[in-house]
Structure 1
Amino acid sequence: MKHPSRGRRGAPTSRDVAALAGVAQSTVSAAINGGPVAPDTKRRIEEAMRMLKYQPNAGARTLRTNRTNAIAMVVHLEQQDDAAETVPYIDSVVEIARRSDYDVVLSTLREGVDGIARLAGRAICDGFLVMDVESHDARVGKLAELGVPAVLVGRPADPQGLDVVDLDTREAGRLLVDELADTGHRRVAMLAEPEEAEREYKFISDFVDGVRTRAAERELTLDLIAVEDQSWPGVQAAADRLLGRADARLGLIARTPRVTQWFMNLLQLRGLIPGRDISVVSRCTDELAKSFAFPVSNVSPQPREMSRIAMEFLIERLGGSDVPARTVLVRPEPLVRRASTAISPS
């Protein structure tokens, strides 16, 4: 293709694209908006758009097609520490969306039903990906009522006809206990979740149940340490109850990246070395697990795989798919043993 001279200075137009591709301007418009265009012609148009760095006008496209080519991702980032767990999902969703020519509108406020209605009412997006779904989440009913394409990450008691993707956290808990049992540990300690959190989120109650059940099966003593203030100062105040008589037969289980960081800080303050004096195992991403001075043995929540399945379902719905609603529990990959596991003598 020979680069044509533009009729005016500034950003390239669809007329420039048409001239470079050797087609009519109306053909360029049809290709951009999903109209019937021969594959070879579409390829030439796409190549011309790349060469010219041409970006279609999103506002004009929305008026013509009644679509925004945007997805609303609804997440909760109430505390700075929440980012360690949520950002990998956001990054993966944005990357996958771009490959399918979708933009992502990020909503991080706990607006509930009002936030869903506002985004849908303003035609800001074509569909929703909703994270951290509670067992009885009013947003689910609003999405079903609006009839917009939506996928839930987290299991409600009643999905109301919406697709659901979640991690099998019960199995994640079992894998962490197995790592400690297999390496000769006899005692396990974990922060007890607030009762309201276990009631609200299925993935939390499943994880705790998985740990509790597997510890009993493997004949490990399990201490669930209640901390009134779920914060770093609260964990410091509960240090003696968490660590007890700290030795290589004790293992700490962390459900979240935040708790993992707290445990590693606590051991440092006590002069204890993970993997020698005590073990720490965690449900966290591989990237976080490897970031510590003593890398942490971990079961990954698989943000990329979770995001891939959720986005696949959502894009299918946006394309008009009417297959029955699906609920998928993503099975964790095997635990990766790192420096934080102490091999205790039997």
Structure 2
Amino acid sequence: MTTRQAGTRPPTSKDVAALAGVSQSTVSFVINGKNTVSEATRRRVKEAMRKLNYQPNAGARTLKTNRTNIIALFVEMSETIDANETTPYIDAIVRSARARDYDVILTTTHDGVAALKRMAGKSICDGFILMDVSREDPRIPIAAELSQPVTLVGRATNARGLDCVDADARKAALLAVDELADTGHHHVTMIGTPLGTNPNEYNFVDEFYTAAHQRADERGLGFSIVQRLGEGWTGIEKTADQLLLHADNRLGIIVRQPQPTEWLLRTLRRHNVIPGQDVSVVSYCSDYAAASFEWQVTNVSTTPEQLSERAANLLFDRLEGNRNRDARCELIAPAGITRRDTTIDWNARE
């Protein structure tokens, strides 16, 4: 990689043009994302910029194009949020943005409405992605009035014409229950949300539990939901007796998210119950998380990369000219289930 010596002038677009064998106007078209340049020429200009360590003047580009090439990503982060589950979504959006020469401002404040108004008022972002969207999310009326495009990750009761992407939690629940039914289990226990929280606040959470219950009934399995008695490991540990009530009846436990999965495994070990030998465990979490536990957990993937990339694509589609198309609401279905150490095949034991 070419580096600049101290005291020498910084490279200019004229230098890039000379190295790439194109005109300065072509370099400008590439920098500003114009679609009039062939892909081969675009790659040649990008390679010349890389070799020269050329960085376009952001202020000049903003004045010329009325764009900052910055988007804002709003993510709920707190001591009760599972960062292991959230980080892959953030990483995927950042990668998608960088592939289009956009930077990402990450906003994690709890004052969602005020933060959105504040960021929009600064006029430093071309668009916004709002994660963790609830059914009655108070940010949506504000987002719908902005001149910049907004994409929602999660489904609201009324999206007010905004694009949205969400996980197909219903499909995930069907896969989890079918895995247990197909391997000869008799009872399904689901770990619910913590006591005092509203399981109906988010569409995908409600759909996950409802679809699992319906599928268990269809497959002739016993079914129960055990609500966590608080946050953290102790919230699951306190429910151990309820969780294991059907342990002698080919029990399969379904859990959602990496942290509760880890807390469940710790609880089982503490009670001398071995996943994959005494009971089965199926988690709705990323593949990376599922393979990282003491026992590699059978899982339905939350597909964070695919969901986040699709959210970013919808936003950039708006930014690149399709401002007036109809709003889209897309569900990203899991590809399947990965059987790991924590599934007992009771049929093979007969």
TM over 0.5, shorter chain: yes
1:112 Cα deviation from its structure 2 partner? 1.4
- Partner residue of 2:58? 58
Matches within 5 A, 1:111-190: 111-190=111-190
Q: Does 1:327 align with 2:326?
A: no
1:38 Cα deviation from its structure 2 partner? 6.0
1:197 Cα deviation from its structure 2 partner? 2.7
- Partner residue of 2:231? 230
Distance in 1 between residues matched to 2:270 and 2:300, nearest whole Å: 25
Distance in 1 between residues matched to 2:203 and 2:37, nearest whole Å: 49
Equivalent pair of 2:80/2:231 in contact (CA under 8 Å): no
What are the Cα deviations for residues 57-113 of structure 1, in whole angstroms up to 9, with x where unaligned? 223322332211111111112127521111111111111111111111111122211
Equivalent pair of 1:81/1:258 in contact (CA under 8 Å): no
- Partner residue of 1:73? 73
Distance in 1 between residues matched to 2:35 and 2:238, nearest whole Å: 67
Shift in alpha-carbon separation, 1:7–1:162, aligned structure 2, 3 A: same
What are the Cα deviations for residues 113-155 of structure 1, in whole angstroms up to 9, with x where unaligned? 1111111111221111111101011111111111321111100
Corresponding letter in the other structure for 1:326: R
Distance in 1 between residues matched to 2:136 and 2:29, nearest whole Å: 44
Task: Give me the CA root mean square deviation.
Answer: 2.5
Equivalent pair of 1:294/1:339 in contact (CA under 8 Å): yes
Distance in 2 between residues matched to 1:41 and 1:332, nearest whole Å: 37
- Partner residue of 2:340? 338
Shift in alpha-carbon separation, 1:36–1:83, aligned structure 2, 3 A: closer
What are the Cα deviations for residues 301-332 of structure 1, in whole angstroms up to 9, with x where unaligned? 11111112111111110112021001111122
1:334 Cα deviation from its structure 2 partner? 1.4
Distance in 1 between residues matched to 2:227 and 2:306, nearest whole Å: 33
Equivalent pair of 2:26/2:37 in contact (CA under 8 Å): no
What are the Cα deviations for residues 201-258 of structure 1, in whole angstroms up to 9, with x where unaligned? 1111100101111111112111211233132112111111111253471111102212
Which ranges of structure 1 fall in alignment gaps of 5 or more residues?
Answer: none
What SS class does the counterpart of residue 200 from structure 2 fall into?
helix
- Partner residue of 1:264? 265
Q: Does 1:210 align with 2:211?
A: yes
Distance in 1 between residues matched to 2:289 and 2:232, nearest whole Å: 19
What SS class does the counterpart of residue 226 from structure 1 fall into?
strand
Corresponding letter in the other structure for 2:227: A
- Partner residue of 1:317? 318
Distance in 2 between residues matched to 1:33 and 1:227, nearest whole Å: 51
Equivalent pair of 1:248/1:279 in contact (CA under 8 Å): no
% same residue: 47
Equivalent pair of 1:248/1:277 in contact (CA under 8 Å): no
1:25 Cα deviation from its structure 2 partner? 5.3
Corresponding letter in the other structure for 2:112: G
Deviates most, 52-61 or 113-122: 52-61
Corresponding letter in the other structure for 1:265: R
Shift in alpha-carbon separation, 1:227–1:38, aligned structure 2, 3 A: closer
Corresponding letter in the other structure for 1:294: W
What are the Cα deviations for residues 153-201 of structure 1, in whole angstroms up to 9, with x where unaligned? 1000001001111111012112111111111111121223357432311
Corresponding letter in the other structure for 2:71: I
Matches within 5 A, 1:191-202: 191-193=191-193, 194=195, 196-202=197-203
Distance in 2 between residues matched to 1:235 and 1:261, nearest whole Å: 10
Corresponding letter in the other structure for 1:85: E
Deviates most, 158-167 or 70-79: 70-79
Which ranges of structure 2 fall in alignment gaps of 5 or more residues?
Answer: none
> Normalised by the size of structure 2, how large is the TM-score?
0.90
